């Protein structure tokens, strides 16, 4: 059962990170002044309505619930392992960036273009934080003194 929770968590992460990164890239593209208004609106709608609301948010919810369930089985074990602190930190950074990118997508979908250019930088930061969370999870035995 515990292995199944890990598998669900990992699969949800794959979908979540792919979807939210795509949202960030589409929002950045939607901020391009050289695009026609109809193209901008189509990109913004795809980013927020399709990818964010229908893929990124549900995948995040599944990932989060699977992680809570897994840690809830034996919290003392997880919180006493040093690698988990790094994974948790970068996981929380990814969650925060997910919400910021989602807010930018919502703003783009409502027709605003203000501040959308930074979504590419935020997406890069999200991918870097996700990578570091993966490093802590995969290389846990190498990271313990």
Q: Specify the pLDDT at position 113.
A: 83
Task: Give me the average pLDDT of each 10-residue run along the chain (145 residues).
Answer: 91 98 96 92 96 98 96 90 93 98 96 88 98 94 71
* Cα(66)–Cα(3) distance, integer angstroms: 11
Q: Specify the pLDDT at position 41.
A: 95
Q: Specify the pLDDT at position 144.
A: 65
Total domains in the fold of the chain = 1
**pTM of the predicted structure, to 2 decimals:** 0.93
Task: Determine the structural domain holding residue 47 and report its residue range.
Answer: 2-143
Q: Are 1 and 99 in contact (CB under 8 A)?
A: no
Q: Are 10 and 105 in contact (CB under 8 A)?
A: no
Q: Specify the pLDDT at position 117.
A: 87
């Amino acid at each position: 059962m515990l292995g199944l929770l890990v598998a669900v968590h990992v699969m949800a992460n794959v979908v979540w990170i792919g979807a939210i990164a795509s949202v960030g890239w589409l929002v950045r593209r939607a901020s391009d002044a050289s695009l026609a208004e109809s193209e901008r609106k189509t990109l913004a709608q795809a980013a927020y309505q399709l990818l964010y609301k229908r893929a990124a948010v549900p995948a995040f919810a599944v990932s989060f619930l699977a992680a809570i369930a897994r840690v809830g089985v034996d919290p003392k074990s997880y919180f006493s392992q040093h690698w988990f602190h790094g994974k948790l930190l970068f996981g929380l950074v990814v969650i925060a960036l997910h919400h910021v990118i989602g807010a930018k997508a919502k703003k783009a979908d409502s027709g605003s273009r203000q501040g959308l250019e930074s979504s590419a930088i935020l997406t890069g930061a999200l991918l870097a934080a996700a990578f570091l969370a993966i490093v802590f999870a995969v290389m846990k035995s190498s990271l313990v003194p």
